[in-house]
Structure 1
């Protein structure tokens, strides 16, 4: 690849990899239908981590540039036929048109079609509200934030469970887990969660990645700024620092402030910082005591596109059984 990867540029490595892949496609080096190097091959060639290449590929797949096929690899999409995010509405309308035509061939009127589809959608919504899900993760910030977002978006009842709490008192949490329809965890903890459950239970592993906007904002922090990471646990802080390192952001001195118990320390700490990176669980507190000139960056993790689609399908399938 002709576009060099520069670690000290201030631009996250995975964005540089993404732009390099796009440049190759625009130059015609890789055409529609061409198979790209594997994540491992490209990471070796560019001398970056495999996770960096994976993030770049996921972004390009979400934008309709690339398409991954299980067991075969990653390919360049036909741009004229690619299903891009901005065309989802158009695609859905085509699906509805086909359904209407088939309904009319079955002698249903358009009014009956509208009535039946509205009824079916309501049934699905009601069914989702009956689904009970447990989300198990290793740090409290992540598990609480994700559970709240998922519950708001889908109406599904989510019980957040910190992995350490589950380890220390399996007996207490076992009834909650056993009565749930689905257990969600991350790929990193999947094997341990399965072992802790000790019963046959639906467990779905998802990938949680840092939000792109968060990484970009941190990468753009000018040199010399005093930066602090304010969160609830050392576990979360460690994940943030590792994520920044994997993105190639290793030129910033970030001081960690976790598990602060009173207002006085956080007020004193914030007064010494130019930029505050905070976990979702501490954002409101940080905003309350920060001074006006400080930049506040909330460090948010979110499921990747494939995980979101997999989760949606799993929730719908639960009530078909």
Structure 2
């Protein structure tokens, strides 16, 4: 289901659509998927938008484009396919080859290049581990997701900073100033920069919602009562704001912010669908039956912004 409304970029919805097809087994590893033209017709969107979604999936190694044959689901057992166009490994090899040629021009041997590159990579990796990164957002639930994502690409030390507490002075601005990098969303970047007095250490990241959760909510019948189990008011407010932007206004939400098992269990007992934050997901799944549908909602940093964070960390590392 493609929502032709503001709030969720269409290309991200298409990307989610393709990933769902892969997860469900409809698009199997090694199988050819619809062409850009075919999928644009199926989803009633522009071909350029489908192309943007396919390009991201190609760069992420989910899909592979075989010259003259079409686009296929990447076969994860095939580590190196010379026919892949735009694959990350192919691009990396090209960069290494170009660097090697320049190094040889300087008078170094290939063995020397390999040794120095290896040593430098180890030095950079160790330097990154010493960095301290503050992650700032309005909702604690989103902060933990952002930390988990960054932690998968960089082993750094994290500081959790809730924006409202920073604005109120409960968290000293000196904490951010003492960090090597401050990561926040594009929405809050101006506020954080204003509080710090400079933008040198601040990087704003683009975030995307869990599209699967949004689509499930859009498909619910009108006037369905849906409990939201969360920790913070900001989580609930952001979810409702997103649904308003996407014109999903046919649901009746009930909110509980408790972590008490008995209290939450009693609250959701009469409902068939429950929305939860990631922090509350395990708690809720322990108390629901198979007739319940648990929809986990979150925002996460998009792939392009994650790459920018890693580049910034490497540049910060001495």
Q: Distance in 1 between matches of 2:316 and 2:256?
A: 38
Post-superposition CA distance 1:6-31 (Å, at most 9, x none): xxxx643358955999xxx849xxxx
Match of 1:63 in 2: 54
Q: Is the 8 A contact 1:62 1:305 kept in 2?
A: no
**Worse overlay, 274-283 or 297-306:** 297-306
Q: In the TM superposition, what are the counterparts of 1:121-160 in structure 2 within 5 Å? A: 121-160=121-160
Structure 2: gaps spanning 5 or more residues? 15-35, 39-45, 57-66, 69-83
Q: CA deviation at 1:180?
A: 0.7
2:153 and 2:310 in contact (8 A); partners too: no
Structure 1 length normalisation: TM-score? 0.69
* Secondary structure in 1 matching 2:183: strand
The whole-number CA distance in structure 2 between the counterparts of 1:20 and 1:153 is 25
1:286 aligns with 2:277: no
**Aligned match of 2:79:** none
For the Cα contact (< 8 Å) 1:276–1:294, is it kept in 2?
Answer: yes
SS for the counterpart of 1:183 is strand
1:135 aligned counterpart, secondary structure: strand
- Which aligned runs of 4 or more in structure 1 are off by greater than 6 angstroms? none
Q: Please give the alpha-carbon distance, in whole angstroms, between the structure 1 residues aligned to 2:308 and 2:181.
A: 13
Q: Distance in 2 between matches of 1:298 and 1:19?
A: 18
- The whole-number CA distance in structure 2 between the counterparts of 1:309 and 1:125 is 15
CA–CA distance in structure 2, aligned partners of residues 189 and 260 of structure 1: 27
Q: For residues 34-91 of structure 1, what are the alpha-carbon distances to aligned partners after superposition, in whole Å with 9 as ceiling and x for unaligned?
A: xxxxxxxxxxxxxxxxxxx9xx96x8545328xxxxxxxxxxxxx99xxx99722222
Distance 1:110 1:299, change over 3 A: same
Q: Distance in 1 between matches of 2:278 and 2:145?
A: 7
For 1:173, the equivalent position in structure 2 comes to 172
Q: How many residues align?
A: 269
- TM-score normalized by the length of structure 2: 0.70
Q: Structure 2 matches for 1:1-321, cutoff 5 A? A: 11-13=2-4, 17-18=10-11, 26=37, 61=52, 63-64=54-55, 87-106=87-106, 108-169=108-169, 172-198=171-197, 201-221=200-220, 226-251=225-250, 253-319=251-317
The structural deviation recorded for 1:99 is 3.0
- State the 1:93 CA deviation: 2.2
Q: Are 2:13 and 2:211, in contact at CA under 8 Å, matched by a contact in 1?
A: no
Q: Which moved more, 1:289-298 or 1:276-285?
A: 289-298
Preserved CA contact (<8 Å) 2:223 2:252? no
Residue equivalent to 1:40: none
1:134 offset after TM fit, Å? 1.0
**Aligned twin of 2:42:** none
Cα distance in 2 for partners of 1:157, 1:61 equals 34
Q: Which moved more, 1:105-114 or 1:290-299?
A: 105-114
**Secondary structure at the residue paired with 2:248?**
coil
